[in-house]
Structure 1
Amino acid sequence: MPIWNQLRNATQNMQSQLVAKKKDLQSGSFRDASMAMCALVAAADGSVDQEERTKVANLITTNEVLSNFPPDQLRTLFDQDCNKLAADFDFGKVELIQTVSKTKKKPAEARAVIQIGIIIGGADGNFDDQEKKVVREACHAVGLDPAEFEL
């Protein structure tokens, strides 16, 4: 099976798992961590160009799992997180990883945030090494083994 098909199947399975847990994923910390994770994945190469920012924002506002939250609220948070990375990538990354780490005490939320990062990373059919690296860092921040997600 081509690698793209494997990635697509894996992200579809993760999305299905998240949809099944949707009612449990309604906290503000989950929302904030999810948007931080999306910004980190979008900027994994050190910058976020406008085209990529728009694509990820569209994925966020149409994702069923994130539909517990108003789309304009998600977009605002995502834009703020991207702006932090654009202003000072290293400092912004530290701050966003800290936001992700706030889900550590709720393992279901932490797993969901990691899964959202993988879904966003794989949405273009290429979950590249830089995107995998930032998701691995997020795994460590929430106390999850990256191997659980085949990272």
Structure 2
Amino acid sequence: MSFSNFLSNLKTKAGELKTEALKFKNKDFLNAAMSGAALISMADGSVSSEEKQKMIKFIESNDALSVFTTSDVIKSFQDAVTQLEFDKDIGEAKAYQALGKMKNNKDASRLLVRMIIAVAASDGNFDENEKVVARKIARELGVEPSEFEL
């Protein structure tokens, strides 16, 4: 193996490590985002296709989450929804626990609140049940709901 091939392989491996490190670093944010999306999507009793599409578009356009594959995002979202459907109380506890991990990061918390509001409104109706959940999520994240007109 030539020295230039060695350097090329080393750069490739370093890039792979960086990607893996970013995934690990943002795993809590991914879980919080998908937990929030699941909570707000289930607030009216069902998850609409518009809500799913809005959530996927948000993830794909968010730098902090762009390191995740769409399949990772969908799996995390489906896991959160499945937990909520199986046992609402335990599912909610796990979802709010995931959200709580972002509480000390104000920028991430505000971004999460904006995301869940966008997901909720994606079907053209931001109803009172969804607003109640949005307010609860904001409080869990340590963000004042009135900051988002909730």
- Which range, TM-score by smaller chain? 0.7 to 0.9
**Cross-structure match for 1:72:** 71
Confirm whether residue 32 of structure 1 aligns to residue 31 of structure 2: yes
**Cross-structure match for 1:95:** 94
Per-residue deviation, residues 68-113 of structure 1 (Å, max 9, x unmatched): 4211100000000000000011221121011111100111011111
1:61–1:67 CA contact under 8 A, matched in 2: no
**Cross-structure match for 1:14:** none
**Cross-structure match for 2:54:** 59
* Alpha-carbon separation, structure 2, partners of 1:129 and 1:39: 17
**Cross-structure match for 1:7:** none
* Alpha-carbon separation, structure 2, partners of 1:110 and 1:123: 20
Q: Which stretch shows the higher mean deviation, 57-66 or 108-117?
A: 57-66
Runs of 4+ in 1 over 3 A off after TM superposition: none
Q: TM-score, normalised by structure 1?
A: 0.75
1:48–1:86 CA contact under 8 A, matched in 2: no
Equivalent position amino acid for 1:142 in 2? L
* Alpha-carbon separation, structure 1, partners of 2:72 and 2:135: 27
Once the two structures are superposed, the pairs formed by residues 5-16 of structure 1 within 5 Å of their partners are none
Equivalent position amino acid for 2:82 in 1? N
* Alpha-carbon separation, structure 2, partners of 1:90 and 1:134: 14
Structure 2: stretches of 5+ with no match in the other structure: 1-24
SS of 1:27's partner is: helix
Q: RMSD across aligned C-alpha pairs, in angstroms?
A: 1.5
* Alpha-carbon separation, structure 1, partners of 2:124 and 2:67: 26
Structure 1: stretches of 5+ with no match in the other structure: 1-25
**Cross-structure match for 1:133:** 132
**Cross-structure match for 1:48:** 46
Which structure: larger Rg? Answer: 2
Query: How many pairs are equivalent?
Result: 122
Q: TM-score, normalised by structure 2?
A: 0.75
* Alpha-carbon separation, structure 1, partners of 2:93 and 2:29: 18
* Alpha-carbon separation, structure 2, partners of 1:78 and 1:56: 11
